[in-house]
Amino acid sequence: MNTFHKVMAFSAITLCSFVAHAQGENSLRLEDAIKSTLQHNPQLAGYEFRTKALAGEQLTAALKPQLKLSTHVENMAGSGELAGVDAAELTLSLSSVIELGGQRDANLGLVTARQQQLASTQRVLTLDLLTQVTQQFIAIAAAQEQLKLLQKSQQLAQENITSLTKQVNLGRTPEAELLRAKASLARATIDAQKTQQQLKSERVKLSAFWTSTQSTGSQSSLEQPTFTNVDADLFALPPLVPLTTLISKLDTNPDLAVLGDEVHLRAAELKQAQAQRKASVEWSAGIRRLQVSDDSALVLGVTMPLGSANRASGAIATASANRAGAEQEQSATRLKLHAQLISLHGAYEQALGEVTSLRSQVLPLLKQALRATAEGFQQGRYSYLELNLAQRELLNEQLSLIDSAARAHQLSTDIERITGEPLRPQRARGEWE
């Protein structure tokens, strides 16, 4: 990957844990997903042909005016003295154009501006794709954490049934509570199966960024993912960067770079239109053979169109208006990105605070309450409904923690998309592998 591609690759690695993990055989890292997308995504592959097309246009624009060879035969096959070829005049001449307005340089400048614009557009598409890959990776990481919790909830529901069955057999607990526990187990099983199916669907969505389709008869389908899980620490969040630091990086925003290239392109079009105000001079030189007198003579000619300045005024006005419009759009987009960055920074700060509060305050208190309730349930001081309520409250807040962490990662990815730089300082490869 080149330096530009590494920006998104390393910024996305903020998801990965900085503690060494044992990577499973079918585990996928975010860096691998990004590399596969850069190498095999069909949207990116299309730019190769557009680049080659512009390279061809550049070769054409660099050509000098063409030399023309012409032959004219006059006064032949007529009537009277001009019958036959005895009075014929044969002229052989070369002709070309002298460009007085710098048309060739203007044409080259226009093609170069289009090449720069294409390169910037490709960078924006690359960033957009890598942002989508990162966000899809986050969705899978969150679904994996949710599935772990729901499977643990299934296990707890089964343990509740085992404990309640003993108490019902001893006559200490009404059978209705056992029935409620069995219903809770069925509900937990449904939730786990639903999340498992969602996880499978999210894996297919991620692999679609780089996998090809398989044709079966008249139908085509995506190849199945080769990975079963992603290797990531959902709760390793990048730190909060000061807003002033983020705003200072707006100058490197890829969208503004595209609009800047649009301004350059419109300026090149204006230069090309202005070059048309000076007419190109056509010249010709040759030799004429006079058959009647058996003599030869040189023939010279110069042609210059009139009124070129007036004819170019409309194109100049159009090009000037287009350049002004591009400059206005660039300014408006900068203000819009500024506002988006302020909003995202505030939302990310709130999400970080929510994750911290859930991990340091809410969850410890609910775990302590669950332990006390479970002990009281074994001693007969609490009913199953109270135990189930404590378990459900803890599960809901654990799921909220996953949602908050996933939302924080999504926000950090959006911030990195705008600034084009990672929130977490880049580390050496060996530090995170």
Domain assignments of the chain as residue spans, ordered by start: 3-19+26-213+221-432
Domain 3-19+26-213+221-432: top CATH class: mainly alpha
CB within 8 Å of 76: residues ≥ 6 apart: 82, 84, 85, 87, 88
pLDDT at 421 over 70: yes
pLDDT at 5 over 60: no
| pLDDT band, very low/low/confident/very high, at 391 (cuts 50, 70, 90) | very high
pLDDT at 184 over 90: yes
> Given the structure tokens 């924006």, which residue do they identify?
124
Q: What is the mean pLDDT of residues 202-231?
A: 75
| pLDDT band, very low/low/confident/very high, at 424 (cuts 50, 70, 90) | low
pLDDT at 293 over 80: no
Q: What is the mean pLDDT of residues 376-389?
A: 89
Taking the C-alpha atoms of residue 380 and residue 368, their distance in angstroms, rounded to an integer, is 18
Q: Please indicate whether residue 391 or residue 105 has the higher confidence score (pLDDT).
A: 391
Q: Which of 390, 382, 407, 418 is nearest to 251 (CA)?
A: 418
| pLDDT band, very low/low/confident/very high, at 82 (cuts 50, 70, 90) | low
Q: What percent of the chain has pLDDT over 70?
A: 87
pLDDT at 194 over 90: yes
Taking the C-alpha atoms of residue 303 and residue 284, their distance in angstroms, rounded to an integer, is 9
Taking the C-alpha atoms of residue 51 and residue 46, their distance in angstroms, rounded to an integer, is 9
211-215, 234-238, 413-417, range with the lowest pLDDT: 211-215
- Predicted model pTM: 0.75
pLDDT at 213 over 70: no
Write down the pLDDT at residue 303. Answer: 82
Taking the C-alpha atoms of residue 37 and residue 206, their distance in angstroms, rounded to an integer, is 10
Taking the C-alpha atoms of residue 145 and residue 139, their distance in angstroms, rounded to an integer, is 10
Q: What is the mean pLDDT of residues 243-252?
A: 88
135-144, 319-328, 348-357, 411-420, range with the lowest pLDDT: 319-328
Query: What rounded mean pLDDT belongs to the chain?
Result: 82
Write down the pLDDT at residue 39. Answer: 87
Write down the pLDDT at residue 392. Answer: 94
Q: What is the mean pLDDT of residues 334-339?
A: 91
pLDDT at 214 over 60: no
Q: Which of 100-114, 133-147, 419-433 has the highest mean pLDDT?
A: 133-147
pLDDT at 107 over 90: no
14-18, 127-131, 178-182, 335-339, range with the lowest pLDDT: 14-18
